[in-house]
Amino acid sequence: MKPNRRREAGLTLVEMLIAVALLGIVLLGIAPLFIASVRSNYAANEYTSIHNLARDRLEQLMNLPVTDPQLTVGAHANDLAPFLPDPTTGTLPSTIVNPIQRTYTVAHYRSTAGASGTPYTLTDVGAGVTYEFKRIDVTVTSNNGGTGLGIGQRTAQVTGFLKNPDPANNVN
């Protein structure tokens, strides 16, 4: 009688190739989800950043007196620097264009009481007329700097109202 050879336990080369092929197919199915997740996270981070820039500027403007020259009626141009600091030295000027623009508009409004049980309405009265409220709209736009991540251009807009403490005399 021949002695029984113990069968060696383990994987054959064919079994290993099949396992690797199955793993590759599964990973190919998951890869687009991973890429979409990275792009979505980048877009959300950028949107959060531009929204915070808009809220910060609105708070700065809301803390000014209603007669401040920054709160004159009309559209106000981009107040951010056109170029970013050099990333290696931190100094200006640099050739890196700032992808973010922040603008704001100011308008004057007067309130009109509605009929009984209806809300009052606000009417835009323009500059040089008595007003009760200033409406400030801050808009921040980012074109994501051409990185190709995210969903392209993003815009955040926030609005606030300032009450005029002396409507009879503050008509700027």
Q: Smallest Cα–Cα separation from 50: which of 161, 133, 151, 162?
A: 151
Q: Compute the average pLDDT of residues 92-98.
A: 79
Which has the minimum average pLDDT: 4-13, 97-106, 123-132? 4-13
What backbone torsions phi and psi does residue 20 show, to the nearest 5 degrees? Answer: -65, -40
**What is the per-residue pLDDT for 116?**
73
Strongest mean pLDDT among 78-82, 126-130, 144-148: 78-82
Q: Where are the domains of the chain?
A: 13-163
Q: Compute the average pLDDT of residues 145-166.
A: 78
